[in-house]
Amino acid sequence: MSNATWIVVAGEGRARIFTWEGESSSLQQVDDFTNENHSATMLTEKQAIAFSESERKEKERDKFASKIASCVEEGRLHERFARLNIIAEPKFLGMLLSYLSEQTKKLVFEKVSKDYSSLSNREIEEILKRG
């Protein structure tokens, strides 16, 4: 098993996953996801009629959270990290956690309710090093 820490930095429009070996190393990006449906909807016309605009947006955010959680779960199953740090917009953080298995939740050592998804990799690294 890897001793790496995976850091998920997410908002409802973008999510990135990094691997980090600690303060003496630099962040390495594992994946970058964009929620293409963030401002639009991918629901069928019939579904769109059945839901209000806020319900549609909520469903799209939920699907995006599920997609990110699936990637994290796959990383755990392939033993690509030993610890998990999740930094996400507060509401999205809850959605993301709801999709993680109990085994993966046990690896979460820190949860931060902030939206750093628009920051550069370097800015995120600086924040992590400051603690």
Q: Which residues of the chain have pLDDT under 50?
A: 38-42
In Å, what is the CA distance from 107 to each residue of 2, 34, 68, 103, 131? Answer: 13, 25, 16, 7, 19
Note whether 107 and 76 are within 8 A (CB).
yes
Q: Where are the domains of the chain?
A: 5-125
Write down the pLDDT at residue 39: 47
Write down the pLDDT at residue 1: 66
What's the CATH number for 5-125?
3.30.420.60
Write down the pLDDT at residue 40: 44
Write down the pLDDT at residue 59: 82
Q: Is the pTM of this model over 0.75?
A: yes
Write down the pLDDT at residue 7: 96
